[in-house]
Structure 1
Amino acid sequence: MKSYKDLDVWKEARKLVAVIYESTQKYPNEEIYGIVNQMRRCVISIPSNIAEGCGRQSSKETIHFLYISRGSLYELETQSFLSKDLNFLSEEELNKILVQIEACMKLLNGFINYYKKL
């Protein structure tokens, strides 16, 4: 296998990091240690766990870390909806995030299925 840095799923996850960091810059200051911190930690874990999984010795270990990334995508999706509910995100910003989450989810699910066949 090539480096994890060549994987589309890892590249798309990095794009999602940029989208979340850009979006959360506008949140109220009192949320810096609340939802902003939670969303940023969550989104950082997505490409990080993909990379860590690729560094593991077995397919089973790799899949475990890919599942962690997938869980973080679901967590981030919920946090994004909550941000919209709290009027921290506009409908347009939410949709931008959701489109990127969906792109990552499709690639990640494909990558998980690939590893399951090994």
Structure 2
Amino acid sequence: MSFKFEKLHIWKDAMSLGEEINLMADTFPKKEIYNLSSQIRRATDSIALNISEGSILQSNPEQRRFLGYSIRSLAEVVTCLYKVKNRKYINDEIFKKKYDFCYKLMNMMIAYRNKFNS
């Protein structure tokens, strides 16, 4: 037995990204605990949360709406990643790895959302 969203690759990838970002945020300076650390964690968690919420007992337009929230949260994560890189909390290699993963996830989410055209 499982929930519908547990079978979705986009949900699984969003969950993985959330855990990776959470660990990465632990390495930021203490002064960022209520700012950038918190912001990137909340934005990343929001991706998987909205995918799951949209997949349960929702109409196609509602599911598209929640996937839209997830995509916007992903854009927020990417912006946070730029801030993290610019502040030198991560190196270019880590940035590129996370950025590429986010880009792939975004494309997968858009393709999945397009299945729910109303």
TM-score band by shorter chain is over 0.9
Alignment of 1:101-116 (within 5 A): 101-116=102-117
Number of the residue aligned with 2:100: 99
Q: What residue number does 1:14 align with?
A: 15
Structure 1, unpaired ranges of 5+: none
- Structure 1 ranges of 4+ moved more than 4 A: none
User: For each residue in 1:73-113, what CA deviation from the matched residue of structure 2 results, as whole angstroms up to 9, or x when unmatched?
Assistant: 11110110011011111111111211220121011011111
- Partner secondary structure for residue 49 of structure 1: helix
Equivalent residue number for residue 77 of structure 1: 78
Write the deviation string for residues 13-65 of structure 1: whole angstroms up to 9, x where unpaired. 11111221121111001101110000000000000000000014311111110
Structure 1 CA distance for aligned equivalents of residues 15 and 36 of structure 2: 20
Cα RMSD of the aligned pairs, angstroms, is: 1.2
Q: How many residues align?
A: 116
Unaligned runs of 5+ in 2: none
| TM norm structure 2 | 0.93
Q: Give TM-score scaled by structure 1 length.
A: 0.93
**Equivalent residue, structure 2, for 1:63:** 64
Identity of aligned residues (%): 29
> Are 2:11 and 2:48, in contact at CA under 8 Å, matched by a contact in 1?
yes
How many angstroms apart in 1 are the aligned matches of 2:8 and 2:108?
9
Letter in structure 1 aligned against 2:36: I
